[in-house]
Every structure is written in structure tokens, then in C-alpha cells.
Amino acid sequence: MLFPSRTRFIGVAAGYLLICLGVSAGHNHTTPAKTACHTLSTLLGTDRVQSAGGAQYEASATGAWDLYNQLDKPTCIVFPRNSSDVVLAMRTIFHSDAHYAVRGGGHSAMPGWNTIDNGVLIDFSQMKAFSYDPICNSISIEPGVLLGEVYDGLQSHGVAPVGGRLDAVGFSGLALGGGLSFLSPSQGWACDRFRSLDVVLTNGQLVTATRTNEYSDLFTALKGGGSRFGIVTRYEVDAIHVGTAADKTYWGGSIDYVGPSSAAVVKATEALVYSNKDPNAVIVSSGSYSNFSGTFITTSSVTLFYNGTEAQFKQVFADFLAIPAVATNLGPLSYNQMTKVLISSQSPQVGPRATNVNVYGGSALYPGQGLFEKSYNNWLNFSTSFKDEVFVSFWGITPVFQSQIDISRAHGGTSFTPPNGAFAYLLIGELLPLGVTKIRKSLRAGIDRLYRQWVSITRSPLFHLTSIPRSPGLPLYLNESEDVQNVLTTYSGYEQLKETYREV
Ligand SMILES: Cc1cc2nc3c(=O)[nH]c(=O)nc-3n(C[C@H](O)[C@H](O)[C@H](O)COP(=O)(O)OP(=O)(O)OC[C@H]3O[C@@H](n4cnc5c(N)ncnc54)[C@H](O)[C@@H]3O)c2cc1C
Ligand SMILES: *[C@@H]1O[C@H](CO)[C@@H](O)[C@H](O)[C@H]1NC(C)=O
Ligand SMILES: *[C@@H]1O[C@H](CO)[C@@H](O)[C@H](O)[C@H]1NC(C)=O
Ligand SMILES: *[C@@H]1O[C@H](CO)[C@@H](O)[C@H](O)[C@H]1NC(C)=O
Ligand SMILES: *[C@@H]1O[C@H](CO)[C@@H](O)[C@H](O)[C@H]1NC(C)=O
Ligand SMILES: *[C@@H]1O[C@H](CO)[C@@H](O)[C@H](O)[C@H]1NC(C)=O
Ligand SMILES: CC(=O)N[C@H]1CO[C@H](CO)[C@@H](O)[C@@H]1O
């Protein structure tokens, strides 16, 4: 049996009984969520369970990154301090049949993924411990930790987890969705470096999953499969030796372009994804169409790093250096400095809390067929057509080189393991104008038309509105996709995931 029914005693038996007695019978206009919240506040106290009016409740209810996710009103919010609190919360939720949502760092761009109306929100903002164990060469991370906190906190030890590229994002949601890092070309996806995961299953059972133990299926499912399989209360991951503040072992930074240079940047990006075999080269390439005080401008930006010398950098990225740029900010960098580059080169929406609604859609493309350019042109046409409804329109490429796929396989693979061959994830983002919280029908139709255009560029036979097409066989990136895209169905491990899901 995949998940043995053996229930570990976790010191909550007394609380468990209370739950069963606490459910007041009948004659009461209560909802499952209200019942769960009532029981939980009795069990955990008002500092760990709050409802509307509580200071922590209000900060949390409106504290998610995407404006979409700042609008819901959870019935109550649980702020667990340790895994026992999560066990208790999940048992209570399970028995009362309440709806619930979980928040790590709060950066999901999917509406409703880290908040809930009429349900219980479990907010990990009070579980932010992390530590480095030099003997095991591992890092232990609690689910409320933001990347900047762990990068800064472990810098003096010269280590970091494989995490994301921006400080304000949570480790938790990022890693469960796969996790793309500046370290990924040489070290794999963030989830490739999981060693063990403490997981509270939906019935409240606490288990530890590893690659080889009896929960190995759950372990693989959590590598990319996201939040459906249980709540992770602790991550133990490999420590990567990235160096301290004094170790400026990388060379690079950002280059910004405007107008006509953008087409050349897109071509150079596709050429690099096609030909690069060097795991020390790192690139993120993006385009934006935005309103600068009434003037609409197309800009491009590349973030480029090389783990090595300036001369090596200049050789690998020569094409980008040859394109006329408006701003170039390159030099020797420590790893920690690299994780601050995107913050300084991009607009405020990358911070802890966005003032606008962000809509993300994703795709995955093979290089060498002109698909980058075609998708870019379609996106640019979309952006200019909808300039009155979109404040900033965004197009971004993250390459996945063969080295990353090899490392991933060597670490046991993930739930989305792609076929061999370099490809790139494509992220399309629309930042709606200030105060706009609904996508208008005309814009929705425009987004759907854009997605349809990608059907023809990738010649995919699968044509339906809710699936942004991709090069055949490639998985979408969960963390950069729209919720209507049915991302998990694009995974090689989809059947296995369904099986695992049935058993948890
Ligand atoms: C500005 C910006 C920059 C980004 N940069 C990168 C990047 O460089 N690389 C990259 O890979 N991605 C990046 N992302 C995408 C990022 O991976 C996702 O937004 C991710 O969901 C953020 O995780 P979180 O913990 O902050 O979010 P949350 O919204 O808190 O969580 C996301 C999802 O994970 C679930 N979840 C969270 N914690 C747990 C848990 N402990 N157990 C079970 N489920 C849980 C939540 O329920 C939710 O569904 C970026 C996003 C933004 C907005
Ligand atoms: C109704 O349910 C709420 C929440 O579960 C509880 O606080 C209240 O005491 C109940 N009232 C009665 C009359 O049972
Ligand atoms: C969690 O904290 C409570 C006290 O708040 C304590 O009784 C319990 O033992 C702790 N559980 C764990 C796993 O540390
Ligand atoms: C950077 O390159 C050096 C030398 O090639 C290598 O030892 C080190 O592991 C690399 N660092 C990372 C984080 O990949
Ligand atoms: C563009 O910006 C200008 C000035 O900031 C503003 O007046 C105008 O309404 C904006 N246009 C759109 C379509 O957002
Ligand atoms: C450009 O976008 C508009 C609006 O979505 C659409 O009607 C038109 O067909 C597009 N043109 C091209 C060439 O893609
Ligand atoms: C946009 C986004 O946040 N997508 C996903 C990132 O990964 C988490 C964890 O699995 C998902 O739950 C998010 O929906």
C-alpha cells in the first residue's frame, strides 16, 4: 500500500477528541468553515487562529502578492507555529469538510491559490525558520521562508538552496511547482534538490517522504505536482556552495534595450537556447510593452551571468553585447548579488505585494524553429491591440538546457520530467491598470486569440481555448501558467500523479 494507514502519534490525541465533541449538532446557521474555525480557535487560541477584525487576520487577508488574492475573506486564518498545529488544522478541516487554502510566500499569480472565501486559510508566515547543517550538507527550510531571507541568512556560510531569482518570492510554492533558479543550468530545478519533506496529508497524518522510503511516490508527486498532495511543513534540501559576499565568482548583470533592438534580442535568445551546452551560462530574456507617462514603449531586458571570468562571459554572450543597448550594468558578482539584479532592473510589481492584478500564462517551446520570434510577434500585436486595457504586458523566456534535464534525471526525476533536448519556458504576463480587478470580456477574447495563434505556430493538434499550446511533448511550468491551462496534464508523470492523488 502506498500510504499506510498507520497513524503516527503526534501528541494531538486530546485535541482530536475535542474536535469530535466540538462540532455542535444542528439548529445552527453554521457552515463547515465556521465549525472548523470555532474548533480551531478553541484548540489553538486566538494568537494562532484569527477571524476578521484581528490585526494579523487583516494583514494576511490583504497580504498576498497578486491583487486578485488580496480580495477574499477567509472565515478564519490559521497561523501555525509548528507541524503539530498543521496536523490539528488539517484533522479539523477534514472532519468538518471545510474548504481551505494554503499560503507559503504568497506570490502565486493564480486567483484563489493562496487565499479563500468561506474557508480556512493556513498562512505560514509564522513558520520561517531555516538552518544549514554542514555535516549533512543540507538546508532545512520552513514553509513561510522567503527566498531573500534564506539567501541573506546563509550567505556567511557560503551556501544557498536552489531557489528562485527574486527575493520576495516564497521558497515553498516555488519549489513545489518545480522552481527555476539562476543555479538551475548547473544544479537542476529547485525540487531536484529535495532530500526529505515533512508532509501533513489531507487527513491530518504527518509523514516524512524521501526518494527511497515508503512515501517515495508522494515525494515524486511533490516534485512539481504542487499543493494537491499534502501540506509540506519542512523541506530538507541540498546545500549548494555558492560562495560568500566576498566570492565574486560570477560575471554579468543586466542589459536593457528599447524599440527595434527587441527583435534582435529575441533572435539571439533563441540562438543561445539552441546552441549553448555550457552549464555555467545563465540567462533570462524578457520583453515589455508599457505606458511610460502616456507613451507606449517596447523594451527588452536580458539578465546574463557566467560562473567564471569576464572573458568567458563576453564569448558566450557576444550576440547580446553586439545589439545596441540603452543601459548596461555588468560586472563581477557574488551569488547573493545576482539574486538582487532582477529587483533593481524591473518595476515595483516584483515586490512583496503588487498593487495591480497580474495574469500569467505559460508555454514551452523548442528552439531552432523560429517559434520564439513568432510567439513574440503575436504577443507584441496583442500588446499593442490591448494597450488601453493592459498597463504592462510582459513576455519572458527561461531556458532549460540539456544540463538541467540531465541533473534532474540523475536526482530521480520529477513529476514533469521533460524529454531530452534544450527548450524554453515562455511566460506571458499582463498587469492590469490600477484598480481593475476583473478581466474584461474583450481582453479575455484577446488573450484567448493569442493562445490560439500559438496553436498554429506550434502546429499542435490539441486546440481548445483553455490550453496554451506548446511544442509537442513539453511540460508547462506550473508556476508560470494560468489556472485554466490544466498544467498537470502536460506532465510525463500525469498518470502516476493521478494514482498518487487517489491514494493520499
Ligand atoms: C515577481 C515574481 C517572480 C517570480 N520568480 C520566479 C523565479 O525566479 N523562479 C520560479 O521558479 N518561479 C518564480 N515565480 C513564480 C513562483 O514560483 C510562484 O509564484 C510560486 O507559487 C511562489 O510561491 P509562494 O510560496 O510565494 O506562493 P504561495 O502563493 O504562497 O503558494 C503558491 C502555491 O503553493 C501552495 N503552497 C505554498 N506552501 C505550501 C506548502 N507548505 N504545502 C503545500 N502547498 C503549499 C499554495 O497553496 C499555493 O497554491 C515568480 C513569481 C513572481 C510573482
Ligand atoms: C453555532 O456554531 C458556532 C460556530 O460553530 C458556535 O460558536 C455557536 O456556539 C453555536 N451556537 C449554538 C446555539 O449551537
Ligand atoms: C508545537 O508547539 C506546541 C506548543 O505550542 C507543543 O506542545 C508541541 O509539542 C510542538 N510540536 C512540535 C512538533 O514541536
Ligand atoms: C562554478 O564553477 C566552478 C568552477 O568551474 C565550480 O566548481 C562550481 O561548482 C560552479 N558553481 C556552481 C554553483 O555551479
Ligand atoms: C497612460 O499613461 C498616461 C499618463 O500616465 C495616462 O494618462 C493614460 O491614461 C495611460 N493610458 C492607458 C491606456 O493606460
Ligand atoms: C492582432 O491582434 C488583433 C487583436 O487581438 C487581432 O484581431 C489580429 O488578428 C492580430 N493580427 C495578427 C497579424 O496577429
Ligand atoms: C502561478 C503559480 O503560483 N503557480 C503554481 C506554483 O507552484 C505552486 C506549488 O505547487 C502551485 O500551487 C501554484 O499554483
313-342 pLDDT per residue, tens: 999 999 999 999 999 999 999 999 999 888
Stronger pLDDT, 339 or 504, i.e. the higher one: 339
Stronger pLDDT, 92 or 107, i.e. the higher one: 92
With H, G, I as helix, E, B as strand and everything else as coil, classify residue 360: strand
pLDDT in tens, 10-36: 222 223 333 333 344 455 578 999 999
What is the C-alpha separation between 178 and 312, in angstroms, rounded?
29
Helix or strand holding residue 148 (H, E):
helix 147-154
Range 466-494 average pLDDT: 65
Range 136-165 average pLDDT: 97
pLDDT in tens, 242-257: 999 999 999 999 999 9
Among 291, 296, 384, 387, name the best residue to mutate to test ligand 5's pocket (greatest count of ligand atoms within 8 A of Cβ): 291
What is the C-alpha separation between 58 and 433, in angstroms, rounded?
24
Q: Give the distance from CA 477 to its chain's centroid.
A: 9
What is the C-alpha separation between 229 and 287, in angstroms, rounded?
35
What is the C-alpha separation between 502 and 3, in angstroms, rounded?
10
144 pocket-lining for ligand 7 (C-beta < 6 Å): no
CA angle 398–403–405, rounded 5-degree value = 75
With H, G, I as helix, E, B as strand and everything else as coil, classify residue 166: coil
Please provide the DSSP assignment of 54-118 as one string. Answer: -HHHHHHHT-SSSGGGGS---SEEE--SSHHHHHHHHHHHHHHT--EEEESSS---STTSS--SS
Q: What pLDDT does residue 383 have?
A: 92
Q: What pLDDT does residue 5 have?
A: 25
Range 467-489 average pLDDT: 64
Range 147-159 average pLDDT: 97
pLDDT above 90 (res 495): no
Least confident of 264-268, 304-308, 436-440, 450-454: 450-454
The ligand 6 site (C-beta within 6 Å) comprises 378, 381-382, 385, 446, 449
pLDDT in tens, 398-446: 999 999 999 999 999 999 999 999 999 998 888 888 888 888 889 888 8
Q: At a CB cut-off of 8 Å and minimum separation 6, what does 292 contact?
A: none
What is the C-alpha separation between 415 and 417, in angstroms, rounded?
6
Is residue 230 within 8 Å of 218, Cβ to Cβ? yes
What is the C-alpha separation between 296 and 391, in angstroms, rounded?
10
Least confident of 168-172, 334-338, 342-346, 490-494: 342-346
Tell whether the torsion through CA atoms of 79, 82, 88 and 91 is positive or negative: positive
pLDDT above 70 (res 126): yes
Mean pLDDT of the chain: 85
What is the C-alpha separation between 398 and 478, in angstroms, rounded?
14
pLDDT in tens, 68-97: 888 889 999 999 999 999 999 999 999 998
Nearest CA-CA partner of 168 in 69, 64, 83, 89:
64
The ligand 3 site (C-beta within 6 Å) comprises 11, 81-84
Is residue 134 within 8 Å of 157, Cβ to Cβ? yes
Beta bridge partners of 429: 360, 394
Predicted TM-score (pTM) of this structure? 0.86
Could you tell me the distance, in angstroms and rounded to a whole number, from the CA of residue 303 to the centre of ligand 1?
A: 21
282 pocket-lining for ligand 7 (C-beta < 6 Å): no
Q: What pLDDT does residue 452 have?
A: 67
Q: What pLDDT does residue 43 have?
A: 95
Q: Where are the beta strands (DSSP E) in 343-485?
A: 358-365, 392-400, 423-431
What is the C-alpha separation between 337 and 346, in angstroms, rounded?
15
Q: What CA–CA distances, in Å, run from 33 to 23, 38, 40, 86, 382? A: 11, 8, 10, 16, 42
Q: What pLDDT does residue 492 have?
A: 77
Is residue 140 within 8 Å of 133, Cβ to Cβ? yes
The residue whose C-alpha atom lies closest to atom 7 belonging to ligand 7 is 177
What is the C-alpha separation between 418 and 449, in angstroms, rounded?
27
Rounded to the nearest 10°, the torsion over CA 410, 416, 422, 423 is -160
Confidence of residue 218 (pLDDT cuts 50, 70, 90): very high
pLDDT in tens, 455-465: 544 444 443 33
Stronger pLDDT, 290 or 485, i.e. the higher one: 290
What is the C-alpha separation between 315 and 328, in angstroms, rounded?
17
pLDDT in tens, 43-60: 999 999 999 999 999 998
Percent of the chain with pLDDT over 90: 59
Judged by its nearest atom, the ligand closest to the C-alpha of residue 127 is: 1
Locate the ligand 5 atom nearest the alpha carbon of residue 389 and give its number: 13
Cell digits of residue 223: 516534485
Phi, psi of 151 (to 5 degrees): -65, -50
pLDDT above 80 (res 490): no
Q: What CA–CA distances, in Å, run from 460 to 223, 378, 452, 467, 478? A: 27, 16, 10, 11, 20
Q: What pLDDT does residue 151 have?
A: 97
Could you tell me the distance, in angstroms and rounded to a whole number, from the CA of residue 111 to the centre of ligand 6?
A: 27
Judged by its nearest atom, the ligand closest to the C-alpha of residue 80 is: 3
